[in-house]
Amino acid sequence: MADAPALEIEHLSHPANPSLLTIQQHVMREQRRFPNATGEFSWLFSGLTLATKMIAARVRRAGLSDILGSAGATNVQGEVQQKLDVFANETLIESLSWKETIGLIASEENDRLTAVHYGSPGAKYAVVFDPLDGSSNIDVNVSVGTIFSILRCPDGCADDPAKWVLQPGRKQVAAGYVLYGSSTMLVYTSGNGVHGFTLEPSIGAYLLSHENIKMPARGPYYSVNEAYRDSFPAPYPAYLDALRKGGLGKKYALRYIGSLVADFHRTLLKGGVFLYPPTADAPGGKLRLMYEANPIAFLAEQAGGIATDGAKPILELVPDAVHQRTPFVVGSRDELELFHQMAAR
């Protein structure tokens, strides 16, 4: 019998710089930096990306709820309408609960921790999130966001959920947000720079659009709810005056959306400072340390910026409780240096 023709093999050469890179590919590429990486982390991330795409699709239809059915009612497709923040929370929990590497989930919407694969030997990560931040902006068609933070189980955490979850922000292994704005963008860091991906709706993929984002060292805007100014403690009122009157060599303009993700995203790209100081109603600050300030502070530092609670770096605060609040000042290097100088006086 004649020899069968040998199978010919053509070797695929991966382009060194592919023109399109999805978030999934990017996370896998980042993981290759660690010799023992198993790919579990990119699998976990796929739970986040799927959920946020579902949330983005629902946010895009938000204004239609009155004609398609209001919250609690059944819409024309036979679906029970939910409030968007409830939908976002349930979608994230369901999507993440498939991931065997996740032991615990903490959400702004839930008083208690959710055990996912807690107690299983494969459970290595806790995911902490604010499912839909800025929710007062939903009804008026203004940007909202999802914020997330991922923590690894430290040694001896197996039977101690507090030890696992209540870690300082410096221990985050990854963090980021999704901004449901004029486009949907996912911005994340795993400790090797800050990278932004824009959702391409026609193929349903987050594509790398902003690689290695660096916050300008100085920016044009300050961002704060100045309605509370009379109750801000020192040095906040004097600091805002200094910015407005040209203390850094120019006069600042004010931008305030009232959605942390959107206000920070602008600060990240354009520079400047975002503040939520202590107020009379919220003497410990309004924003939450674990799923608002920590992930944003990690991103800010990775992009060359600074984040403080007014006295200490945000990432060094040791949380006492999942829903703990903190004063928050985050932004460019020059604005934060001026803040520190004025706070030290």
How far are the Cα atoms of 15, 145, 161, 258, 296 from residue 136, in angstroms, in the given order?
45, 12, 32, 8, 20
Nearer to Mg ion, 133 or 335 (CB): 133
- Shortest distance, position 114 Cβ to Mg ion, whole Å: 18
Residue 281 dihedral angles phi and psi, to the nearest 5°: -75, -30
247 scored as a contact of ligand AHM (CB under 6 A): no
Closer Cβ to ligand AHM, 189 or 223, answer by number? 223
Please tell me the count of residues contacting Mg ion according to CB under 5 A.
2
Number of H helices, E strands in the chain: 9, 13
Task: Map residues 123-142 to x or -, x wherever contact with Mg ion holds by CB under 5 A.
Answer: -------x--x---------
Which region, judged by CB under 6 A, interacts with ligand AHM, from 157-165, 196-204, 255-263, 333-341?
255-263
State how far the alpha carbon of 319 is from the alpha carbons of 109, 282, 293, in Å: 18, 18, 12
- Angle between helices 236-244 and 333-344 in degrees, nearest 10: 130
**Shortest Å distance, C-beta 135 to Mg ion:** 7
Per-residue binder mask for ligand AHM (CB under 6 A), 303-342, x = binder: ----------------------------------------
According to DSSP, residue 138 is labeled: G
Q: Binding to ligand AHM (CB under 6 A): which residues in 131-150? A: 133-135
The whole-angstrom distance between residue 6's C-alpha and the CA centroid of its chain comes to 53
Contacts with 219 (C-beta within 8 Å, 6 or more apart), sequence order: 267, 270, 271, 272, 273, 331, 332, 335
Q: How many residues bind ligand AHM (CB under 6 A)?
A: 10
Which residues lie near Mg ion (CB under 5 A)? Answer: 130, 133
Which residues lie near ligand AHM (CB under 6 A)? Answer: 130, 133-135, 225, 258-260, 276, 286
